[in-house]
Structure 1
Amino acid sequence: MILREFPDLVWLKSQIAQGFSNRLGWGNLPLDAEGFPSAIIHTQVRECFRPDVKGPYTFFLNLRGNSQCSVDQQTTRIDEGHYFVSNNAQLYTLQVEESAAGTETFNIHFGEFFSESVLNSLITPADMILDAGTEKQLSPVLFFNQLYPRDETFNGMIRSIVTAYRKEGPDKLRFAEQMTALLTYHLQQHHQIARIVNNLPPVRKATRVELYKRLARAMDALRCGFCGEISLDQLAAEARLSKYHFLRLFRMAFGLSPYQYLQQLRIEKAKVLLTDRHSPITDIAAGLGFDNSQSFSRLFYQRTGLYPSQYRLRSK
């Protein structure tokens, strides 16, 4: 289901505490089963504060504007180019700071039993599925609480959900397939991260996972602040590592230095901004943190083989 407003917080927390045992959703909508249901909150708000919600697997994203999500005493800013993930039964706090323009949220909550069933079907070999029959043998899948880039594949799935609902209205089968596709996509991202974790140097897996979490915090800081100034000291502090160890492990994990990754983020954002023919290139350069449009143009040419004005003409 897609909701056009945030459910009342007191009601929601009460329903979560009771496991939705009455099988009623917001507005007394009948539910097919107990447990937190699959739902998308697609609404526009000028501000909101929803503290300490024990949700299911959730993708937090915005079609317009920014929000903040806090889990495990860490707060992450979510812009229009990324989504953030919290795990099943993990407490989160969602906040949208007051602004005149407001924020258009598109927060995706995967049903409590739906998500576990889908994820386990994706990671369980076919012969084991056949042997298990209809018995539920679910083991939890834990994702990393971090920002994930929204590529064209992901954005295409989001557009498809919005368009289908607008044109055809609600449909349970279509909605379940769309939610399954999103979980499948994200599990692929999770597998890529697992490969990065396995390539980190410590022998113990728990240590590698902790190192990756620290590096991911610095990566999120880069993704949130790539348009402004950000120092090596700041990034190392985010990761709680010495500057030397941070630089070495960051390059080992992501194949680029922090500065190289920062420049890559700026170029990718520039490509999006250049599709707007009314934005002067000098304004785009300044907004991305470049000292002048000449340095921006040189870097853009080095990375793409085209100057910004040429890229803009080709992207019409």
Structure 2
Amino acid sequence: MIYTQFPDLQWLRQQAEEGFSSQKAWGGHTLPVAGWPTVILNVKATNICRDNIRGPLSVFTNVSGKSRVTCGGKQVTVQGDYFFISNHDQRYTLEIDKDTPAETLNIHFGAYFAEQVFSTLKLHPEKIIDECFFTAPHHRIELYNKLYRRDNVFNRLATELKNNQGGKLYEEEKLYDLLIHLLRQNHEVDVIAHRIPVLKNSTKQEILKRLLIATDYIHSYYHQDITLEELAGVACLSKFHFLRLFKIAFQKTPHQFISEVKVQQAKTFLKRTGMEVSAIAKALGFDNTSSFSRMFYHQTGLYPSQYR
């Protein structure tokens, strides 16, 4: 289901707390099963605060503008080529400022749909035929609460879902492909976690969580002059413990990480806008165009004008 308006907040909260046990969707439609339905919210809005909603596995992104999402004990700004993930039964808050309109493309995976997809990945093929099709198999996978950069695969699937011309079957195929793609990206974060030199898994996950808070901060404020003290502070680690762990986990320094983020954003500006190179340099936080061009050349082997 694609909605171009947000459902009534009080109605949604009550339905979410009850797990949609009434099997009623917004607008009075009857759902085939109880539980969170699959919903795509493609809404143009300003001055929105939808707070403390118990949700399903969800992807928060925007066609244009930016929004803020609070979930998992942190708040992130979702802008440009990024998306954020919340998990089943997590509470989230979505905000859009009154002065900055946004067009959302938030994808809420139905609990039954997501569990069915995850079950097919966990079961041996010979056992799949023994699963009752009408019984939700309660397989859930926790994805990392973090900002992810949108890649070509994500952008293609998001566009196909937004412009769905193929009906329910087409939508389910694209949602399946998107879930598989999210799992692949989540696996890349697992690889980062395995590099952290801690034996106790709970400690490793806590360190990873703190490092991801720092990378979310970078993705939100890469255009500012971020200091090592700032990053260590948001990660709640001492400065040099943070630096050591960051280098081990991401196999690059924070400065190198920030430079790569700036280059990716520069590529987006160069490909999708007509901004002058000097304006792009300013938007990325460079004092002058030449320093931006040198950094871009060092990362790509091309100057910005050549890349364009």
TM-score range, shorter chain: over 0.9
Question: What is the Cα deviation at residue 283 of structure 1?
Answer: 1.0
2:72 is the counterpart of 1:76: no
Report the counterpart of residue 247 of structure 1 in structure 2. Answer: 243
Deviations 1:77-100 (A, max 9, x none): 11121110111011111111111x
2:256 is the counterpart of 1:257: no
SS in 1 for 2:113: helix
Structure 1 window deviating more from structure 2 (136-145 vs 279-288): it is 136-145
Please give the residue correspondences for 1:17-166 in structure 2 after superposition, counting only pairs within 5 Å: 17-99=17-99, 101-130=100-129, 132=131, 134=133, 136-163=136-163, 165=164
Alpha-carbon separation, structure 2, partners of 1:277 and 1:182: 27
Using structure 1 for the length normalisation, give the TM-score. 0.92
Residue 297 of structure 1: which of 293, 301, 306 is its match?
293
2:197 is the counterpart of 1:201: yes
Deviations 1:28-76 (A, max 9, x none): 1232211110000001001200111001000000111111111133111
Q: 1:152 to 1:137 in 2, by over 3 A?
A: same
Question: What is the Cα deviation at residue 139 of structure 1?
Answer: 3.4
2:270 is the counterpart of 1:274: yes
Is the CA contact (8 Å cut-off) linking 2:115 and 2:136 kept in structure 1? no
Deviations 1:147-170 (A, max 9, x none): 01101111111111223x2xx3x6
Please give the residue correspondences for 1:227-238 in structure 2 after superposition, counting only pairs within 5 Å: 227-238=223-234
Q: 1:276 to 1:72 in 2, by over 3 A?
A: closer
SS in 1 for 2:69: strand
Structure 2: which 5+ runs fail to align?
A: none
Alpha-carbon separation, structure 1, partners of 2:59 and 2:228: 29
Alpha-carbon separation, structure 1, partners of 2:168 and 2:157: 16
Question: What is the Cα deviation at residue 120 of structure 1?
Answer: 2.5
2:215 is the counterpart of 1:189: no
Calculate the aligned-residue CA RMSD, in Å.
1.6
Using structure 2 for the length normalisation, give the TM-score. 0.95
Question: What is the Cα deviation at residue 133 of structure 1?
Answer: 5.2
Question: What is the Cα deviation at residue 103 of structure 1?
Answer: 0.3
Is the CA contact (8 Å cut-off) linking 2:44 and 2:103 kept in structure 1? yes
SS in 2 for 1:118: helix
Alpha-carbon separation, structure 1, partners of 2:36 and 2:273: 45
Report the counterpart of residue 15 of structure 1 in structure 2. Answer: 15
Structure 1: which 5+ runs fail to align?
A: none
Percent identical = 36
Alpha-carbon separation, structure 1, partners of 2:98 and 2:272: 27
Is the CA contact (8 Å cut-off) linking 2:37 and 2:109 kept in structure 1? yes
Supply the AA of the counterpart residue of 1:213. K
SS in 2 for 1:274: helix
Is the CA contact (8 Å cut-off) linking 2:42 and 2:162 kept in structure 1? no
Question: What is the Cα deviation at residue 178 of structure 1?
Answer: 1.2
Supply the AA of the counterpart residue of 2:128. I
Q: 1:18 to 1:273 in 2, by over 3 A?
A: same
Alpha-carbon separation, structure 1, partners of 2:208 and 2:130: 36
Supply the AA of the counterpart residue of 1:105. T
Question: What is the Cα deviation at residue 17 of structure 1?
Answer: 2.8
2:207 is the counterpart of 1:211: yes
Is the CA contact (8 Å cut-off) linking 1:146 and 1:216 kept in structure 2? yes
Is the CA contact (8 Å cut-off) linking 1:61 and 1:105 kept in structure 2? yes
Alpha-carbon separation, structure 2, partners of 1:24 and 1:277: 43
Q: 1:4 to 1:222 in 2, by over 3 A?
A: same
Alpha-carbon separation, structure 1, partners of 2:273 and 2:38: 39
Alpha-carbon separation, structure 2, partners of 1:251 and 1:193: 14
Is the CA contact (8 Å cut-off) linking 1:122 and 1:184 kept in structure 2? no
Question: What is the Cα deviation at residue 14 of structure 1?
Answer: 1.8
